[in-house]
Amino acid sequence: MKVADDGSTGLGAHAGSQLAHAILLPPPPPRVPHLALAEAPPAPAGPDPFGTSRAMLRVEKLVEQSAASDLPVLLTGEMGVGTERIAREIHRRSPRAHEPLVELHCACLPEDFFERPSALEAVGGGSLFLEDIGELSSVLQDKLLQLLRRRDALRLGSADHPHNEVRVIAATHHDLPLAVQAGTFSADLYYRLNMLHIHVPPLRAHPEDIPGLLQYFMQEHGSREGWHGELPQDLRAFFLSYEWPGNVSELENAIQRFITLRDPAYVLEELEAQSERARATTDLPPSGRPQSASALLEHGGGYRVDLKEIGRHASDAAEKAAIMDMLSRTLGNKKLAAQRLGVSYKALLYKIHDFGIAEARAGRSHEEPPDHTSPQRT
């Protein structure tokens, strides 16, 4: 696990003052694999990183209300909307802000993790962020549920802090109610985690926030790199009109790429290529596969035919269709889908992002019975 740097999607209407100070953490405990202590570096003064749209003002209000409570919080939204930043903002605004915020990526946890005596000692009386809770194996679901049932088991402080309890924040881009219906996610665990719910909308639902986000990320990452220039007009215009299928994370990555390379043409070409590939696959028939060679010719305009381009589109369409079909069969379980497709988990995530694949919500194929086993770990 990497140590989170809190620099991907800053959040909070009051962040100008609150993010100006780093969270003071106690001396770090011995390093435990899979744990990441999230620290909040100073944020640059400037535009509200939360945004001023109605959708994001509602999210901010829920963050403020949730921060004052000790109840578990479930964050939902598409990949890249910044649920990890929301979790950090909840912690920052809570009475636990002086305690650690520990992040765990559920897809990477060994099945004995919650049994280790020292595994969660780093949390103390702070917050535990369970990223991508939908990837948690059934075994770990049961063990986490036991922890939530026995509140005294979450009193992990030392003798100096006898009343410390972990505050749990979980996030997912899976359709957990669908997974509960399919029997692949514990209903009891879902209802215990879903005491407070915050849904983070995709960036395309609040494009009016893009100008402010551009300014925020330019200031934040520009100050880190010692560069304080401006976005070229053509690049800025493209940023404002682009749909951002990867949401705020994709926008931030594009800004970081530009600041690092200082090559607007390259950044523009990369985004245009991604946009073209997404259009080429989503404009194909509903099955995702071209029905005939003539259909591909029609996509090419019918006048000039580039065989290499046709081949690439056909390959992309077939690959996207296979991924979507497998995600549907596994009810969105990407670890299991990656195993059955014969690719690594990371490679599948890249493909899902590149093809702009939304969460699979279709029912399971009649050809395959439900699979309640967790994928083999590699």
**Residue 197 identity (one-letter amino acid):** H
Query: Is 362 contained in some domain?
Result: no
The alpha carbon of residue 202 and the mean position of all alpha carbons in its chain are separated, in whole angstroms, by 11
Q: What integer pLDDT is reported at residue 341 of this predicted model?
A: 87
Q: What integer pLDDT is reported at residue 122 of this predicted model?
A: 78
Q: What integer pLDDT is reported at residue 204 of this predicted model?
A: 93
* Position with higher pLDDT, 67 vs 6: 67
Cα separation, 163 vs 239, whole angstroms: 49
Query: Is 183 contained in some domain?
Result: yes
**366, two tokens:** 């009649």
Mean pLDDT computed over 264-291: 65
Cα separation, 285 vs 277, whole angstroms: 15
Adjacent-strand bridge partners of 167 = 127
Dump pLDDT digits (tens) for 198-211.
Answer: 999 999 999 999 99
User: What Rg do the C-alpha atoms of the chain give, in angstroms?
Assistant: 22
Query: Is 130 contained in some domain?
Result: yes
Cα dihedral value 99, 1, 249, 252, nearest 10:
80
Mean pLDDT computed over 328-336: 84
Lowest mean pLDDT among 2-11, 108-117, 122-131, 304-313: 2-11
What CATH number does residue 120 fall under?
3.40.50.300
Q: 37 and 3 in contact (C-beta within 8 Å)?
A: yes
Query: Is 349 contained in some domain?
Result: no
Q: What integer pLDDT is reported at residue 48 of this predicted model?
A: 59
Q: List the domain range (segments joined by +) for residue 52.
A: 15-201
Cα separation, 84 vs 104, whole angstroms: 11
Query: Is 275 contained in some domain?
Result: no
Query: Is 116 contained in some domain?
Result: yes
Q: What integer pLDDT is reported at residue 306 of this predicted model?
A: 52
Residue 309 has pLDDT above 70, yes or no: no
What is the total count of domains within the chain? 1
Cα separation, 301 vs 218, whole angstroms: 39
Query: Is 196 contained in some domain?
Result: yes
Adjacent-strand bridge partners of 76 = 172, 199
Angle (CA) 287 288 290, round 5°: 95
Dump pLDDT digits (tens) for 16-44.
Answer: 333 333 333 334 444 444 555 555 444 44
Query: Is 5 contained in some domain?
Result: no
